[in-house]
Amino acid sequence: MTIATVLARGLRPTEDIAHQAVSAAMERAQLTHANSVLLFLTPEFARDPQPALRAASKAANCMQVIGCSAAGIFTEEDWVLDTPAAAAMVFGGNVALAPAHDIAADTLVFSLAAPNAINSAWIKAPGQRFGGISGDATGQGPFKVWSGAKVSAQGRCETLIKGAHGLVGVSQGIRALSVPLEITQVSGYDVISLTSQPALNILARELPLEVREQEHLPLHLIMAGVIFGEPEHAISEGRYRLTPIISTNADDRSVTLSARLSPGDRLFWALRQPLAAERDMRITLDRMDQKMNETPDFGLFFPCMGRGPYFYGGVDRDLDLVKARYPGMPMIGFYGNGEIGPLNGENEIFQYSAVLGLFKEDV
């Protein structure tokens, strides 16, 4: 394999950490120069990542250094959330990260963005976009994106993966509490009724007893799933977009969501649970196996910050499942503030999800 990863740590965010990560990855891949480098750095580097980018470029004998800073980073070997670190993946042989030009509708486009650089025109542009948003859980912080070994002034970048083919899977990882129900009345962001019944009454009825009896509902764990297409198998087939709940309103028994919906839309109530997320990740991997029908050579993985080790009690079960499925496969990624991936024929920004790209080098 001419693709390899290394995760390097240090006490302070120095350029030596980036140089160490890239140099060790180059040695592991037996390369003297790389076609491209994917480099993720922890937040300590974000204020001025340029020295680390120069060091990575020098170590790889390559100017095509792409990546971002993120709240947490990882490779197939380990993850880091609270220590200055650099994760590097080097590409040799036939595989390279190339500028995105003349993008066809079915072309996979690796996409990175800072929270303040997202806009709908970019997300909806041609190509099947996948990747992550380099923010923390609040979407704040001095997060940076780079391409060509330089910080992007636009705060985002897009590249093609040349010399390899692959596919993208999305695990939204929730436990459905109800079947899809038709929205019968809305007011702005407030869903007032479902099937002509107060929305909050239906939500309260469907919640597990241990959740319903809490003094305050854990709204950060409760979601609305808005489905696409026929409702019968929409949940099992993953044809839905999760929408966070902002508040519940006792006066009119409505539920305020983070997105505007319309009468006639169908939604179901859902709960974020580690066991449900782990089960959904297994299902996602099964689907990808069936579609790919070959062993991938490398992976790019982008779980939400709310879906990583903090969610799973100090371990990353999503990462562990991918590693167990593909032992020894080079993999790199980061925990972000949003995930970019395809859904229902369009590009979407996901929340509390995990987006995985698996790739096979062209022969």
pLDDT at 138: 63
What average pLDDT score do residues 316-343 get? 96
Question: Of the candidates 49, 63, 62, 64, which has an alpha carbon nearest to the alpha carbon of residue 18?
Answer: 49
* 19-63 pLDDT per residue, tens: 999 999 999 999 999 999 999 999 999 999 999 999 999 999 999
pLDDT at 120: 86
pLDDT at 279: 95
Question: Of the candidates 316, 296, 321, 353, which has an alpha carbon nearest to the alpha carbon of residue 133?
Answer: 353
pLDDT of 141 > 90? The answer is no
Encoded tokens for 285: 């991997």
* 298-314 pLDDT per residue, tens: 999 999 998 999 999 99
328-to-1, 154, 196, 296, 302 alpha-carbon distances in Å: 11, 35, 53, 11, 18
Encoded tokens for 92: 């040799």
Question: Of the candidates 160, 34, 26, 171, which has an alpha carbon nearest to the alpha carbon of residue 93?
Answer: 34
